[in-house]
Structure 1
Amino acid sequence: MPDTKPSEFELIRRYFTRPVAHTDLAVGDDAALMTPRPGMQLAVSTDMLVAGTHFFADTAPGDLGWKAAAVNISDMAAMGAEPRWMFLALSLPAVDEAWVAAFAEGFAACCARFGVDWAGGDTTRGPLNLCPTVIGEVPVAAAIRRDGARAGDDIWVSGTPGLAALGLRHLRDGLPLAEEARAQCLRSLHRPQPRVELGLALRGVASAMQDVSDGLLGDLGHILSRSRLAAVVEDAALPWSPVLAACSDEPAARAALTAGGDDYELVFTAAPELREQVASIGQRIELPLTRIGQCQSGEGLRLLARDGTLQPVGRAGYDHFG
């Protein structure tokens, strides 16, 4: 019987060509054409997802498509940038049309949710590997970088970090979770919600920011390193969600909160006199924002324990080569 599997170009036409809203020329030529809006800088980021390293090979393709787009869009949120264009390069071990269709729907759904044009990419045969690139816009000099924190700044985090890490522990190690908690943790793991609205609202308010992809304390450490500062985080102030608090394995819950990745919440710094403004932003967008510590002169990150002692924090977070 003849081979009925689609060619590379037919695959692109069927599944990876989507309507665009603000792209001059998208899929179908050697390059896409985009026109940045006046007064804007381009913010560009790429995040690779590799089977067996970043996701299980049997992850539902729709979830994987959503997450592949979301982790890149989150980088725009972390810069206070508006995500505008997405490109996707991927390698597939074989053409499974049902898998590709579901993956493409998940990827396109996430792009649509955040107003991003899927403007192009590439496909090839090889181990399952996803490499999206996102391009956003931010007013000139308004990007929120990692190197802007100052001594005395408050440290804040959005949402409830740790749920995705608990979901991963459940899938990988069989960590027991109650049914409702399990569903919530797996939703956080597979369908993260980039905090774009928060990132945009924090322009001119946050002095430095980073998304929590590799662990709260570890990612805070990147801000401190780039800003050449020290910090103290208060253990009692950390945002324990009911799910984390109810976990029967307290050390696992604590590790998920402080060092687990994949939440894509935002950790940021802001001057103390802006506390009310930060709180009002959280109320307006209906997202909890928790003040967890303060930046200081010097080097290093320390945790203020509930007994009043200061404990140094070593490497806390995921490292691809650690």
Structure 2
Amino acid sequence: MSDPPVLVTGAAGFIGSNLVARLLEDGRRVVGVDDLSSGSLANLAPARARHAGRFEFDRLDIRQGGLARLCDRLRPEVVFHLAAQVDVRRSVEDPQFDASVNVLGTLAVLEAARHAGVRKVVYASSIGSYGEPDVSELPVDESFDRPALSPYGVSKRVALDYLRTYELLHGLDWTAVTLANVYGPHQTTAGEGGVVATFAGRMLAGQPCTIFGDGEQTRDFVYVDDVVHALVLAADRADGQRLVIGTGQRTSISQLFRALAAATGYPHEPVHAPARDGEIQHSSVDARRAARELGWKPWTTLEEGLAATLAWAAEMAER
């Protein structure tokens, strides 16, 4: 096919697989890459079945050189860079591995992109990169800047510096979307939004659920379809900008537990354990700049998103 493809790193992961499905439904030609260390080909099975003629998957580690050859061969128009080490706890335990994936991996993506003449890189970052806000500062916007509390946060911030530098040196356009706590179908228990997947899976199986800390810590939970929409819009808008993506609503972990327990008929109380290192207490974002620059807003309520997530989790449990 003659139309230039778009390339998605981390394509078999949670957000990546949802993005691939959306791009294919939009009629795009898509190349997905993933080393399958945490992603799963099962996440891509529906897209591969429905759009076999417009979807190519390559199993590779972005750090090992194969991405540059792939980009040189296919000349993608846009690269959506989602491949990452996303576990805060693992970054604390093994910061060198975290930096290898999130810093050197991003550098490899940028090098491959510039050599192949890629028009733009859309980069997925995290609000967890920006340290602990005071409750009075919430919701935070793009001006919020506080030192990261984990090596994961540091690595995601460093990647933004590389994006800016590659724009200055090589004219490579970019947009970074800084995501709140994403949840939805295809999610694993890793990452900042993984508590939804963890609770859902354990409740459906009738297993104990653990809340770390007192449960009053709050997060801004944003549904994956809304996030994917922001990524797609960013391919053609907001060059050279970092935009925060979230709902602006704070939900405590205890509230989340109660909502999922009510939806699943889960009869047990949570088990409490000590709070974990590197995690912030409260988070929510002000996405008004994304509304202006992308024409984006979240449209999925927490109740709707949790219902869709539970339906998907129940279907997976039956397989």
Specify the structure having the higher radius of gyration (Cα): 1
Normalised by the length of structure 2, the TM-score is 0.25
> Which structure: greater helix fraction?
2
Normalised by the length of structure 1, the TM-score is 0.25
